[in-house]
Amino acid sequence: MEKATFGAGCFWGIEAAFRRLDGVELAESGYAGGTTKDPTYEQVCSGQTGHTEVVEVTFDPSKISYEQLLDTFWDIHDPTTLNRQGPDIGTQYRSAIYYYSAEQEAAARTAVAALEKSGRFRNPVTTEIAPIKTFYRAEEYHQRYLEKQGRFH
């Protein structure tokens, strides 16, 4: 098993999208990229901790590749809107890829370059690419949130 961590706006929809992929064993909502230890949702939403709302994906690379996860990441959000996804505005909603290895970093940077060259988006990609330092799992009520609300099965 390997891990990958992505920020693409509010983590509820991101978690649901990754959870449905064959080869994804676990997708958990949480926080990464900030400076406050063990932040709460309220602290992250204040914009003062520096964290991104993220989903940590545990996947089986024999069933799904990191590049396939990246493809899903690009499909589920707009990576050209700095600190914003739809109605959600703030640094905690930034587009971000937190990598666990040099291979993941290279794949992420290659994917961004390919996106830029493709012309798929009119504006430049603003996705932050940084090493994962610490993933903090979000509070339990955020886990499988959309499923709990009857919006995904």
Alpha helices, DSSP H only, in 1-153? 11-19, 41-45, 66-75, 102-118, 145-148
**Annotated catalytic residue: which of 10, 54, 111, 115?**
10
3-state secondary structure of 124: coil
CA distance 40 to 38: 7
Strand partners, 84: 89
Counting Cβ atoms within 10 Å, is residue 149 exposed (0-12), middle (13-18) or buried (19+)? exposed
User: Which residues touch 125 (CB under 8 Å, ≥6 apart)?
Assistant: 79, 80, 95, 112, 115, 116
Residue 10 bears catalytic tag: yes
Active-site amino acid positions: 10
